[in-house]
Chain A
Amino acid sequence: MLAGPSVRDVVVLDRTELAPGVVLLGFYAPELVAVTRPGQFVMAVPPGGERAATALAIYEAQGERASFLFFVCGARTRELAELRHGDKLSLTGPLGNGFTFAGARDVAIVAGGVGIASVLLPAQMLVEAGARVRLFYGARSVDFLVDRDRFATAGCELCCATNDGSLGHRGFITELLAAAEDKPDLILACGPSPMLRATAFVASELGVPAQLALEEAFACGVGGCWGCVVPLDRASPQAPKFPKPAGDDGFVYARVCKEGPVFWAHELRW
């Protein structure tokens, strides 16, 4: 029987800076790879660290190696970006509910910046299952459209957008999604909050269901502290089944780490 989520120390295998501040960190974790589902994350911290752990999406998970792809934006990510081959890293996970896409035949994946980190695994699995996968990939410039060859090699069709027009459409990636010729039967998305909101809007205009992988600051990451919530329709199967408080207007706060991080766009009340 496979082990479930756990806390384990792993060893860093490789570290590459793909763009200024964008780091790919590979580590040896066969047990994690064996139980990881697309869209899940782990809480990562260097052993003996004094800060709370940071939530990172599992980017690659194959054989004995898994990796993170992240943007250095604070003290903890700076610490993680300084790790080198042979360094140790403490991981709790895999955590959260990932993407569900069984039966989808034509999938549009929307990724903004390092949001790409959540969508490699679903892209690979969908292509393997015989689905058509279009990756709508946006970033501020061509330099930040990192690792796009890997998606092409994996069998995805790429549509790119950059803020400065250095590659593909000049503008937002969601504009390309809205203008796409064939309507997908499912949309998966991960990226900055404005991009996710725009994706939710486009999906609703197209009448296509969309799953959004949200990013939020976590404290515990396992559902214990209720610090990372998002307003969710009470009718959602993912919504905590709490009774309605006085003045209830139809939503309940769900934990991004536990009930999420992937939610159906039409059930979010943001």
Chain B
Amino acid sequence: MSLGSTQKGACVPDLSVRIGKLELPYPTLMASGCYGSGEEFEPFADLSQIGAVVLKSVTREPRLGNPMPRLVATPAGMLNAIGLQNPGIDWYLDNEVAKFAKRPCVVIGSVAAFSVDDYAYVTQRLAARAEIAAIELNISCPNVGSEGETFACDPDLTGRVVRAVRAVTDKTLIVKLSPNVTDIAAIAGEAESAGADALAVINTLRGMSIDVHAWKPRLGNVSGGLSGPAIRPVAVLAVYEAARAVSIPIVGQGGIENATDALEFFLAGASAIAIGTANFTDPRIPIKIVDELRAYLAARGLRSLRDIVGKANVGFGSPFQYEGDVG
């Protein structure tokens, strides 16, 4: 079923969002690790029509990354275990960051580390650069042994790392949470009280796939992070639970492929969304989602995307009749 088109003369709904100090013209972020530095996708998507690119995570020291294979296709999704391959913060600042000024969209840096001190060190140096509008703290990478995700799996560690990073930058701080936890609301609350400006919910789910002919794990790293539509219901619930625990904005992500999927996240409580795996199917998807969101809001006479954030009602009748999928 179609969304209906924006009628002539009707006001165009406002899709802009505010995340901490960031004002984004569109609510669509390109998820970290899936979009390179944006440059790789420039021939295929008009970056001036997306909200922001979240860069691939950078660490203090250079990292070789995990051995191959790093990818496995799975039902309705994929497993990845890249292992934070990156040149380290020194080389990154000298050779990469200046190029980000040319992007026609907001650029958000992503920081990964293995200690509280290193999170603060890398963040301080990266956030000092004018090309970087905000910092996403990747405290939830599942593919670098036990160290990477530890921070997002323990409320106390989450609080410590966010406080340390908050002390070194005034730029908008988005904390990326893991779904591989018992109580995401508690961790979301801890991140907020430690000074996070926003939360990214969720990183990938841990998973494994085995080749039954070779009797071997299919990933060089043995385990990997599951993404794609397979994880969407998990992500929607995580956003719903986190949104009820905090008052800072949430960037919802996990298997979003179209406007219908995106709307689930907004209604669950996300102020913005991030798109990762779907760009591997078609890099035009983020722009299509924006068009469809606009039409969805216009067809219902809504002036702003903000009007629907967190409006999924529990225990009450819907204000609308069921009309089928919108996308």
Contacts and interface: CB of A to CB of B under 8 A. Distances in A.
Contacts of B62: 242-245
Interface residues of A, number: 40
Contacts of A237: none
A51 B91 contact: no
Contact of A223 (B36, B68, B90): B36
B46 to A, nearest CB: 11
Contacts of A6: 43-44
13 contacts: A6-B43, A7-B44, A47-B282, A53-B281, A92-B283, A219-B277, A226-B85, A227-B80, A230-B68, A242-B87, A242-B91, A243-B62, A253-B65
B284 interface: yes
Contact of B70 (A51, A228, A242): A228
Interface of B: 33-36, 40-41, 43-45, 56, 61-65, 68-73, 76, 78, 80, 82, 85-88, 90-91, 95, 229, 257, 277, 279-284
A226 B65 contact: yes
A246 interface: yes
A224 interface: yes
B33 A225 contact: yes
Nearest to A51: B281
B280 A217 contact: no
Contact of B36 (A74, A218, A225, A242): A225
Given A226-B70, A242-B91, A52 B43 contact: no
B35 A224 contact: yes
B124 to A, nearest CB: 20
Contacts of B45: 7
A45 B284 CA distance: 13
Nearest to A219: B280
A258 interface: yes
Contacts of B41: 222, 224
A60 B57 CA distance: 39
B4 to A, nearest CB: 19
A212 to B, nearest CB: 16
Given A230-B68, A244-B62, A253-B85, A225 B284 contact: no
Interface of A: 4-7, 45, 47, 49-53, 74, 90, 92, 216-230, 240-246, 248, 252-253, 258
Contacts of B40: 220, 222-224, 258
A5 B71 CA distance: 25
Contacts of A229: 65, 68, 70, 85
Contacts of A241: 95
B282 A45 contact: yes
A223 B80 CA distance: 15
Contacts of A258: 40
A82 to B, nearest CB: 18
Contacts of B85: 226, 229, 253
Given A5-B43, A229-B65, A50 B257 contact: yes
A262 to B, nearest CB: 18
Give the 9 A-B residue pairs with the shortest CB-CB distance, closest first: A224-B36, A242-B87, A227-B71, A52-B280, A224-B40, A245-B62, A223-B40, A7-B44, A222-B40
Contacts of B69: 217
A227 B44 contact: no
Nearest to B30: A224
A61 to B, nearest CB: 19
Nearest to B42: A222
Nearest to B70: A227
A141 B34 CA distance: 41
A50 B258 CA distance: 11
Contacts of A227: 70-71, 80, 82
